[in-house]
Amino acid sequence: AQKVTQAQTEISVVEKEDVTLDCVYETRDTTYYLFWYKQPPSGELVFLIRRNSFDEQNEISGRYSWNFQKSTSSFNFTITASQVVDSAVYFCALSEAPGTYKYIFGTGTRLKVLA
Amino acid sequence: GAVVSQHPSRVICKSGTSVKIECRSLDFQATTMFWYRQFPKQSLMLMATSNEGSKATYEQGVEKDKFLINHASLTLSTLTVTSAHPEDSSFYICSARASRAEHQPQHFGDGTRLSIL
């Protein structure tokens, strides 16, 4: 069965600290996609990254980086030099392909960056 | 690009009222739209998947007659909460994806906060 686990319910860091948000997934498919979304207090979900199961390259986008490891079924997200504006709930999601393109969301990690 | 507009952003109404929420893809054609419900401090729960021109597929436990979904065009899907009651109060979010051909990400609307008195 598909499952996404975000074990960290809430994380608090002080501004400029680095922080890693964990995501562990379960799937029987060999082809699947993983996503990260940010949900700020205003409520909208902002797309951050998509990664397919055949691409294990790590990715960096500014202060954001992602580490995808199939061997451990993990897709972790690191924010370097965190800022107050990074405060939000972050969701990891899994989608299998081909299929209905539905997402299985993790329960989210609430990140609080303190000034 | 990939902007999804959801309207209204907030609704407060009396019990028994039917409420319609619109979800529009502004700069792309959405072959598939999704409707989610989110309770405070919880994850998103998929309610239904809507494909243009066909009936929506509802998730188990979601009442079809309670939550009416219409996806009449490639840029618009609506969710109508019929005869809403206080337990229907929640945050409803739609999303849209552009193409069946590739595994495009879902792009989300800003959500609608529904409060039933």
Whether pLDDT at B46 is above 70: yes
Whether pLDDT at A87 is above 70: yes
Q: Which of B82, B36, B50, B11 is nearest to A44 (CA)?
A: B36
Closest approach of B95 to chain A, Cα-based (Å): 9
| Residues 34 through 53 of chain B touching chain A, CB cutoff 8 Å | 34, 41-44, 46, 49
A97 at the B interface (CB within 8 A)?
yes
Whether pLDDT at B101 is above 70: no
B28 at the A interface (CB within 8 A)?
no
More confident residue, A43 or A113: A113
| A68: CB partners within 8 A, 6+ apart | A34, A51, A55, A56, A57, A58, A74, A75
- Interface contact flag, A107 B46, Cβ < 8 Å: no
Q: Which residues pair with A65 in a beta bridge?
A: A60, A78
Alpha-carbon gap, residue A113 to A40, rounded angstroms: 12
Closest approach of B46 to chain A, Cα-based (Å): 8
Whether pLDDT at A99 is above 80: no
Q: Which of A72-76, A98-102, B28-32 has the highest mean pLDDT?
A: A72-76
In one letter, which amino acid is B105?
P
- Report residue B12 CA to chain centroid gap: 17
Strands (E), chain B: 4-7, 10-13, 19-25, 32-38, 44-51, 57-58, 67-73, 76-81, 90-97, 107-108, 112-116
Give the pLDDT of residue B112: 97
Give the pLDDT of residue A98: 65
Which of A41-45, B34-38, B111-115 is predicted least confidently? Answer: A41-45
Q: Which residues pair with B7 in a beta bridge?
A: B22
Each residue's pLDDT tens digit, B59-94: 999 999 999 999 888 899 999 999 999 999 999 999
